Each structure stands twice: as structure tokens, then as C-alpha cells.
Amino acid sequence: MTASPKKPRGYGALTIYETLRDDILSLRMAPGQLVDESSLASRFDVSRSPVREALVRLVSESLLQTLPNKGTIVAPLRIEEFPQYVDALDLLQRAATRLAATSRTAEGLDRIREAQCRFEACVARNDVLGMILSNRDFHVAIARAANNSYLEEAYARLLDDGRRFLRLYFKSYDDVLPPELAGGHVQIIDAIARQDAEQAEHCAREHTREMQQRFLVYLGTRRMSGFAVVPEADSVVASDSDSQTGKPANC
């Protein structure tokens, strides 16, 4: 009798992490929802050890939050903090993009273009979670091309913190991103390729500004002062209880 092949070490934790990450980013798991280790162990048919490992990683990415004497919950999504978030995003995005234009290598530029190819593929198939994750990878590739580890670390953390805001931004377009908006990345790549720091920073600022304005309009139409999320539903509902285009080469 042939023995079943062993699962690689960490396989269970990685599967649990990716599944819960996608559930949180898609808002199928609502902000503030309690996360129970025992229930998750039963759901994935594993011991608590890989569950705990996955939860620790999600906490480190600010998607989960551990409360003293209360357990682990899905991190709250504080809509009122969005203005502060977008101010920080604007500053770091402009700095990273400008520095990338002056410091990038050919290899760094290739990594940016590869990340953009993945993003465009997700846009083409309306893969919203893929758009969120590949958008993050695109901007991290820019920060890495800037060759400043402090800036890269701070920018990556901010991008991680804003992934659920980005989910609502894509929702404002009914999860179908207009081609001209996807082309905003191409303008940034072109400026970085030409090592035009002024234009790179300008494109980065316009990129942030469009996201900010669209997001605020979306919140206004939803009349959101806080919200609850109905699992598997297509919409986020208000809660009274909670206060130029083109393609880079080689795609």
C-alpha cells in the first residue's frame, strides 16, 4: 500500500492565511467579527497550531487585531481615518515614485513592469482580489526600485493597511476598472523609465488624488458614517450602530 505524500511543512498555515486574507479583503468577514481558533481548526480540519500561525501573520498585516481578554477580531475599518490615511499615502507614494525615477536600475524597472502585467491581467478578468494584491505589488516594486529600505518598509505597511479601502474603491466602479484608470500605472512607469522625477511625482499624486475623490464620492452616496457587511453580499450597507493608456513592453 502506497503511503500518501506528506504535505510540506507550513502548508496548512499558508492555506488558512490565504483563505482568511481573501475573506477579510473581500469583506466577507466583517470588520469587528470575532475569529475563533477552534472553529477555524474544525473548518480546515487541522490542529490549532497552523491556525494560530496564520492568525499571527494576519495580525502582523493589520488585518486582524488581538484584544486583551476578548480574543481575536477582524480589524475595524475606520472610515473616519481615511483622510489621515490618504494624506500619508500621498506623501509616501510621491516620495517613493520620485526616488525610483532617479535611482532605478534596469532590473528594478523590469520588476515594476512585471507587476503591472499581473495587475492588468487581473483587471482584464475582473479579479478584484487579484487587483488589490497586484496593485500592492506594483507599488512595492516602485518602492524597491527607489533603493531605500526605510521608505520601502513604511510604504509597504501603508499599502497593506489600505487594502480594504481599495476594495471599496473598486466597488465604486462595480468591480470593473475603466481602462483609462488602469493606464495611470503606465504613466508612472513611463516617467520612471525616462528618469523624469518631476513627472513621476506628478503622476503619483494624480493617482492618489483620483482614488481619494472617487472613494469619498462613494462614501457620500452610501451615506456611510460606519458600516456593517453582509457576508457574501455585493454591497456594503450603512450601520447606525457604528459611528493616459497603453501597455508596458513584454506583457
pLDDT at 9 (0 to 100): 52
Across the range 193-215, mean pLDDT stands at 95
pLDDT at 8 (0 to 100): 53
Q: How many CB atoms lie within 10 A of CB 230?
A: 12
Residue 238 corresponds to which cell in the numbers above?
450603512
Residue 248 predicted with pLDDT over 60: no
Across the range 85-96, mean pLDDT stands at 97
Question: Is the CB of residue 239 less than 8 Å from the CB of residue 228?
Answer: yes
CA-nearest of 125, 103, 106, 126 to 114 is 106
Across the range 7-19, mean pLDDT stands at 79
Residue 93 predicted with pLDDT over 50: yes
pLDDT at 48 (0 to 100): 93
pLDDT tens-digit map of 216-240 = 888 887 654 444 433 333 333 333 3
Across the range 182-199, mean pLDDT stands at 95
Map out the domains of the chain with their CATH numbers: 11-74 (1.10.10.10), 79-238 (1.20.120.530)
Q: pTM above the 0.85 mark?
A: no
pLDDT tens-digit map of 98-142 = 999 999 999 999 999 999 999 999 999 999 999 999 999 999 999
Residue of 113 and 173 predicted with greater confidence: 113
pLDDT at 238 (0 to 100): 34
Computed over every residue of the chain, the mean pLDDT equals 86
pLDDT at 207 (0 to 100): 93
The share of the chain scoring above pLDDT 70, in percent, equals: 84
The string of DSSP letters for 166-220 reads HHHHHHTTTT---HHHHHHHHHHHHHHHTT-HHHHHHHHHHHHHHHHHHHHHHHH
3-state DSSP assignment of residue 250: coil
